[in-house]
Amino acid sequence: MKIGVVSDTHGLLRPEVLPALAGVDQILHLGDVGDPAILKALEKTAPVHAIRGNIDRDGPCSHLPETDVLLFEGHYLYLLHDLGTLRLDPVAAKFSAVLYGHSHRPSIDRRKGVLYFNPGSCGPRRFDLSPTIGTLTFESNEQPQAEIVHLDVG
């Protein structure tokens, strides 16, 4: 199973995103959606699970949950927008991964057996960072494997 992971679109769905997500089984949006039309466009590629970010607290995306817990291939994933708001112990909760956005900086880290994964931002360019998305791949009885995909936006 392969999952596409996006974050921080801020109302912009770049044309490079959908081709980069081709073939994924699910898409996770980790907040700061900005426009619900983005979720509808992503749903044309695969089913979408989305949480809200700080820019989504008011407006058309305010109905999205602040966090979510999903089960894929026997692995529990914890989704939140800002890692700084994490108020639980992922090890004690038996999560295989914590997925987050907010910083716009892609990151793959493992701590105490838990994957911490930020796919970066695929929305408007911030700082000196290039737009990125991520993928999570699940192989039988193995920990999920994360990959950062750099979008060629010219």
SS (H, E, C) the chain: CEEEEECCCCCCCCCCHHHHCCCCCEEEECCCCCCHHHHHHHCCCCCEEECCCHHHCCCCCCCCCCEEEEEECCEEEEEECCHHHCCCCCCCCCCCEEECCCCCCCEEEEECCEEEEECCCCCCCCCCCCCEEEEEECCCCCCCEEEEEECCCC
pLDDT of 154 > 80? The answer is no
Of 2, 4, 52, the closest CA to residue 27 belongs to 4
Query: What is the tally of structural domains in the chain?
Result: 1
pLDDT tens digits for range 3-56: 999 999 999 999 999 999 999 999 999 999 999 999 999 999 999 999 999 999
Q: What is the mean pLDDT of the chain?
A: 96
**What local confidence, expressed as pLDDT, does residue 65 receive?**
98
**Partners of residue 147 on adjacent β-strands:** 135
CB-CB neighbours of 41 under 10 Å: 15
Q: Is the pTM value of this prediction over 0.85?
A: yes
**What local confidence, expressed as pLDDT, does residue 98 receive?**
98
pLDDT tens digits for range 41-67: 999 999 999 999 999 999 999 999 999
pLDDT tens digits for range 103-136: 999 999 999 999 999 999 999 988 889 999 999 9
pLDDT band, very low/low/confident/very high, at 140 (cuts 50, 70, 90): confident
Domain with residue 130: its CATH number is: 3.60.21.10
- Give the residue numbers spanning the domain of 108: 2-150
